[in-house]
Amino acid sequence: MPQPVEDDTGLLERARERLYIPGVTIHDVRAPMAASDKPSLPHAWKEDSIPDVLPPRRARQVHVAGIFFMASFIFFLVSLGGVGYFFYYGGNSVSIDKIAIDIQGPTTIAGGDTVPLSLTVTNKNAVAIENVTIEIDFPSSARSATDVLSPYPRYVETLGTLASGATITRSVKAVMFGGEGQSLTLPISLSYSTAGSNAVFVKKTSYILAISSTPLSLSVDTPTETVSGKLVTLTLSVRSNATTPLSDVVLTPSFPFGFSIASSSIQIQNSSFFIGTMLPGASKTITVTGRLVGQDKEQRVFRFAVGTAKTTQDHTLGIAYVTQEATMTIAAPFINTSITINGDTRDSAVVSSGSSQNVTVSYVNTLPTSVTNATIEIKISGPAVDYESIRTQSGFYRSADRTIVFSRDTESTLAMLAPGASGTGSFTFSTLPLDAIISAPVITFTASVSGTRVGQSNVPEQVSASVIKTAKVSTAVALSAFALHSSGPLSTSGPIPPRVNMPTTYTIVWNVQNKGSAIADGSVSATLPSYVSYTDATAGVGSFSYNKAAHTVSWNVGDLAQGASAQGVFQVSLTPSTSQKGTAPALTGGVSFSGYDRFAGITIKGTADPATTDTKGDPGYVGANAIVQ
């Protein structure tokens, strides 16, 4: 019996062939196995259970998924396109990037020229913008094109509503000033809002101008170093670069602290040197000589501005074309000298009138070599000095030129002043009373030091230095206080003489007189005794106030001119006690005055005795009427 042919094709392979090769029938060539008595279950991959073709239902499900995918993809593309459109074209939104500001004008100008600017604003947004305002900030030196003396700090104009795609143009003119080579930046801003929104949007830009030249040029020639108090000369040169004549040219200096003018080639008026008209190419030189006083190694800055005056009559600088600065260092003098007045070492001391003053002169050799035959001279000047009262113990007073001299004739150490050696001299004088002083009460001390030293070439050479000190005579006030009963501007009542436990009213009169320079914010005050009350009745200049807690009366006098006087009147009520019987009680405490001396720059004080019931100013005065009965 022949052996059956074994088919090694598995059930999974035959199932695959039926799935992917429709119409092909594969027979099982395997020999059947011997029948079994046991029932068998059908195999999971039974041939009858495998369909010949794919079910139609599965094919329809794949088609629906594709349609869904395609629809989603198309929706994505549409959305992306919409977003791109609104992003790039803006829709109804407004962007500052779509506001164009175009500025046309010169980029290089000469100082003093009128600069024309053409300003164009374009709205490239899809919607209109509202409340459009344009603003240009000019430098502080800019002037109006219609009035060159008027500052032109800012141009502001409201343009209103600017429609989509609309353009508006404005012309702006200004006169620009600046130094040669200076760059000027003009900040420009445009603000606007949109319909239905309270937000304000701002677009900013700028315009740059360069100054190529100025109508006037200025050069300053000064020493870089000077000795304190020594005369120093400054040379100022002004040149016209304009093509037409310039009228009312002025040069305005700003001198540092400690500098005083001794002389100048042109008289200074209204803090300026008036040059006048300058032709094209013309130049003018001004020399200024003065003294710079300060400490060793201090630096002081001189500033000068040249331009044109406000008017022909007013020489104040109206327009500055150019400014220049110069720095000067103060060096220690060869022989350092200081003057002390009544112990006050300040450059400007204050002394009182009609009193004796003590002056001390100190000197020291700051050179590394000795100084021989050193001489210190102190010249004193001013209308407040009693020159007959000048006295010195260690020097000589030369009355012909009012100079105190300290030399080897009066002080042996000055014959050879070694390096670092020092010494002092002193003198006294008296100030005149204020009523004897005719003009400004200023006293000036000018110290001049000279001597001989051996120079670097071993040749003797003269050395000198100087220093100036001033003293101001302060003003004084005459203050008086008294009481009235039967006279005066206020009505009074009560018994005279005053009686115990009975009120009597008195008029208190305060008088103040200014003997010297003007006084500001003058005031008088006094404290009332406990048995005296303030009635609030007043008269005279100024105003009165009463502090009930402190029991103090104050009189605000105000300002007092030189030689001016003022009177203030107020009323008090006295109710004597039995303990005051037989006395003339005081109606106020001590009276004091306080005010500010505008000239001397100090506070002025004054006092007066209290007013009592002794009313000596009343007509028919009787001394017994002051005694309490």
Rounded CA-CA distance 442/350 in Å is 9
Confidence of residue 64 (pLDDT cuts 50, 70, 90): low
Q: What's the DSSP call for residue 151?
A: B
Arithmetic mean of pLDDT, 450-458: 66
The mean pLDDT value of the chain amounts to 83
Burial group, residue 42, by CB count within 10 angstroms (0-12, 13-18, 19+): exposed
Q: How far is CA 417 from CA 426, 448, 453, 475, in A?
A: 18, 16, 10, 42
Residue with the larger pLDDT of the pair 57 and 619: 619
Residue with the larger pLDDT of the pair 471 and 38: 471
Report domain 96-213's class: mainly beta
Q: Is 80 exceeded by the pLDDT of residue 546?
A: yes
Confidence of residue 25 (pLDDT cuts 50, 70, 90): low
Outline which parts of the chain fall under CATH 2.60.40.740.
Answer: 335-473
CATH architecture of 477-626: Sandwich (2.60)
> What would the two tokens of residue 42 be?
């059908």
Confidence of residue 491 (pLDDT cuts 50, 70, 90): very high
Arithmetic mean of pLDDT, 97-121: 87
Phi-psi group of 444: left, alpha or beta (phi > 0 → left; psi -120 to 50 → alpha; rest → beta) = beta
Q: Is 90 exceeded by the pLDDT of residue 294?
A: no
Q: Is 50 exceeded by the pLDDT of residue 35?
A: no
Give 176's contacts (C-beta < 8 A, 6+ positions apart): 109, 111, 112, 113, 115, 138, 139, 141, 142, 184, 209, 211
Give 538's contacts (C-beta < 8 A, 6+ positions apart): 544, 568, 569, 570, 571
Rounded CA-CA distance 295/376 in Å is 20
Which residue pairs, CB below 8 angstroms and at least 24 apart, start in 618-626? 618/484, 618/485, 618/486, 618/487, 619/486, 619/487, 620/486, 624/497, 625/485, 625/496, 625/497, 626/497, 626/584
**pLDDT 10s digits, 36-55:** 454 554 554 444 444 554 45
Rounded CA-CA distance 123/203 in Å is 12
Confidence of residue 56 (pLDDT cuts 50, 70, 90): low
Which of 37-51, 99-113, 473-487 is modeled with the greatest confidence?
A: 473-487
Arithmetic mean of pLDDT, 216-225: 86
Rounded CA-CA distance 70/65 in Å is 9
> What would the two tokens of residue 361 be?
């002169």
Q: Is 80 exceeded by the pLDDT of residue 27?
A: no
Rounded CA-CA distance 5/558 in Å is 144
Q: What's the start-to-end Cα distance of the chain, in Å?
A: 180
Burial group, residue 629, by CB count within 10 angstroms (0-12, 13-18, 19+): middle
Outline which parts of the chain fall under CATH 2.60.40.1170.
Answer: 477-626
The single residue listed with the structure tokens 């009427």 is: 625
Rounded CA-CA distance 516/596 in Å is 12
Task: Output the pLDDT for position 487.
Answer: 93
Confidence of residue 232 (pLDDT cuts 50, 70, 90): confident
Give 79's contacts (C-beta < 8 A, 6+ positions apart): none
The DSSP line for 492-558 is --S-SS--TT--EEEEEEEEEEE-SS-EEEEEEEEEPPTTEEEEEEEEESSEEEEETTTTEEEEEEE
Rounded CA-CA distance 214/177 in Å is 8
Q: Is 80 exceeded by the pLDDT of residue 292?
A: yes
Q: What's the DSSP call for residue 612?
A: B
The residue type of 303 is R
Q: CA neighbours within 13 Å on the CB side: how many for 15?
A: 11
* pTM for this entry: 0.48
- Return the CATH number of the domain spanning residue range 216-331: 2.60.40.10
Q: How far is CA 305 from CA 49, 288, 319, in A?
A: 114, 15, 9
Confidence of residue 307 (pLDDT cuts 50, 70, 90): confident
Arithmetic mean of pLDDT, 480-490: 94
The residue type of 150 is S
Arithmetic mean of pLDDT, 243-272: 87
Rounded CA-CA distance 173/206 in Å is 16
Task: Output the pLDDT for position 50.
Answer: 47
Arithmetic mean of pLDDT, 374-381: 92
> What would the two tokens of residue 350 be?
């204050």
Report helix, strand or coil for 98: helix
Of 477, 224, 427, nearest to 331 by C-alpha is: 224
Task: Output the pLDDT for position 355.
Answer: 92
Task: Output the pLDDT for position 1.
Answer: 44
Tell me if 505 sits within 8 A of 572, measured CB to CB: yes
Arithmetic mean of pLDDT, 491-517: 94
SS3 content of the chain, % helix, strand, coil (to 5): 10, 50, 40
Q: Is 90 exceeded by the pLDDT of residue 335?
A: no
Task: Output the pLDDT for position 256.
Answer: 92
Outline which parts of the chain fall under CATH 2.60.40.10.
Answer: 96-213, 216-331
- Return the CATH number of the domain spanning residue range 335-473: 2.60.40.740
Q: What angle do CA 297, 298, 301 make, to 5 degrees?
A: 130
Confidence of residue 606 (pLDDT cuts 50, 70, 90): very high
Report helix, strand or coil for 455: coil
Q: How far is CA 330 from CA 230, 236, 246, 394, 566, in A?
A: 10, 20, 37, 31, 48
